[in-house]
């Protein structure tokens, strides 16, 4: 509940026209990671209109807003990601992307509109309790390796004064519209990227014995990597190893000198992440050597596991239960093997990451697809969720 005893949800409904306009403008001009210049301009314009102080950076397209910066009390940071994806939109929306080959296919337009909506409510609504609110509009979540959270943290977004708690959310078509999902502890996976260059001996396909055959070696590696999942880690500790790209060869009767494989390794625990990298390198080299080939391994670590602080998560879940009703706030049963650079904030500040339900029966949807179009009713839920979470954390456990 807010400081005046009124619910955040009716306030969010009043802010819906503004959120709809923000979302429409942002969706029409999606920008890729670290190129979110027009997106930043739209966010800055909205913050100015609301009278919210903000900070931008000359070398980075992020925006940090400040509500009641000088108030005493715990500082709660609320985060929304800004970047779109290189996807050609096929939603048929009247406000579809005007940028060919670029689209908000992961709902970040919704995230930004919800955060602006929450900011509008937290600014207009008198709060009898609670400290400062920090608004983090973060680029480059989709970049996948360095991401945008780490550079924003390096530029001081969690400092002066130090942020006490951080909250984020992501639209989720697997949850029904009107539900918010939470989970204490391990919630999302680390995402590491590998690139393997297998070197064999090219030649005529009729004489493969003069090899080594790089395609055969690459095939053995693809198969052999699955033993890391089935025989190296604890079966109760989820791991995913996927090869998503294989390139090699030009014709049916020519054996190539080289085959390139790229893929991802997903883990939920830091010790398992270390174990898998060691085992991965050992397995790939052993397979290549046994078949007489050479292999160059590039193994790059991406976002770390996302681990929600249990105490913070329970306070937020309780606050949301009061705000939205217990049936609308659901515990997510299993961790997700997707990755999120919100994990970078959680390495430094206790906080929680939520799932915002956008699923509608009969309207199948998938993140990163050309037809992904969350219903605008999610804007009300998302804005109320962020405001209630911040209010609940500043008030403390019930």
Q: Yes or no: say if 358 and 374 are a contact pair by the CB < 8 Å rule.
A: yes
84-to-46, 81, 125, 189, 224 alpha-carbon distances in Å: 19, 9, 32, 21, 35
Write the DSSP assignment of 302-371 as a string of letters. Answer: -SPPEEE-HHHHHHHHHHHHHHH-GGGEEE-SS-BS---TTHHHHTTS-EEEEEEEEEBTTB---TTSTT
The C-alpha atoms of residue 26 and residue 38 are separated, in whole angstroms, by: 8
| Residues annotated as part of the active site | 303, 376
Residues 6 or more apart from 261 whose CB is under 8 A from it? 194, 195, 196, 198, 218, 221, 222, 243, 245, 246
- How far is residue 69's CA from residue 54's CA, in Å, rounded to a whole number? 11
Judge contact between 96 and 373, C-beta under 8 A: no
**Secondary structure element (H or E) that encloses residue 386, with its range:** helix 377-395
Q: Distance between CA atoms of 230 and 240, rounded to whole angstroms?
A: 10
Q: Supply φ then ψ for residue 202, to 5 degrees.
A: -70, 160
Q: Return phi, psi of residue 47, to 5°.
A: -65, -40
Buried-state track 280-299, b at ≥16 Cβ within 10 A, e below 16: beebbeebbeebebebeeee
d(CA 360, CA 358): 7
User: Cα 221 to the chain's mean position, in Å?
Assistant: 30
Which among 12, 4, 1, 119 has a CA at the least distance from the CA of 68?
A: 119
């Amino acid at each position: 509940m807010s400081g005046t005893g009124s619910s955040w949800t009716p306030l969010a409904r009043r802010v819906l026209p503004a959120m709809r306009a923000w979302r429409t403008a942002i969706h029409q001009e999606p920008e890729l990671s670290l190129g979110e210049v027009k997106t930043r301009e739209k966010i800055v314009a909205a913050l100015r209109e609301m009278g919210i102080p903000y900070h931008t950076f000359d070398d980075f397209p992020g925006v940090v807003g400040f509500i009641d910066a000088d108030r005493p009390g715990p500082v709660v940071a609320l985060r929304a990601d800004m970047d779109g994806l290189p996807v050609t939109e096929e939603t048929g929306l009247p406000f579809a992307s005007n940028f060919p080959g670029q689209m908000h296919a992961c709902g970040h337009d919704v995230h930004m509109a919800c955060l602006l909506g929450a900011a509008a409510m937290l600014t207009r609504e008198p709060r009898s309790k609670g400290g400062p609110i920090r608004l983090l509009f973060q680029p480059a979540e989709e970049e996948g390796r360095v991401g945008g959270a780490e550079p924003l943290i390096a530029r001081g977004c969690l400092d002066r004064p130090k942020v006490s708690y951080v909250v984020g959310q992501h639209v989720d078509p697997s949850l029904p519209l009107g539900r918010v999902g939470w989970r204490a502890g391990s919630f999302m996976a680390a995402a590491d990227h590998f690139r393997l260059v297998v070197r064999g001996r090219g030649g005529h396909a009729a004489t493969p014995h003069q090899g080594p055959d790089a395609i055969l070696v690459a095939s053995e590696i693809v198969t052999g990597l699955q033993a890391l999942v089935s025989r190296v880690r604890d079966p109760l500790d989820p791991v995913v190893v996927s090869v998503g790209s294989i390139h090699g060869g030009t014709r049916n009767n020519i054996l190539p000198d080289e085959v390139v494989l790229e893929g991802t390794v997903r883990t939920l625990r830091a010790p398992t992440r270390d174990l898998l990298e060691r085992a991965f390198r050992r397995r790939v080299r052993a397979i290549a050597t046994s078949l007489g080939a050479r292999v160059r391994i590039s193994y790059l670590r991406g976002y770390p596991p996302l681990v929600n602080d249990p105490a913070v998560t329970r306070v937020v879940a309780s606050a949301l239960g009061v705000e939205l009703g217990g049936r609308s706030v659901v515990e997510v049963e299993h961790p997700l093997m997707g990755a999120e650079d919100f994990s970078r904030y959680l390495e430094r500040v206790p906080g929680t990451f939520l799932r915002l339900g956008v699923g509608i029966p009969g309207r199948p949807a998938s993140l990163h697809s050309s037809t992904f179009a969350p219903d605008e009713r999610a804007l009300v839920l998302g804005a109320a969720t962020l405001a209630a979470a911040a209010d609940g954390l500043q008030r403390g456990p019930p």
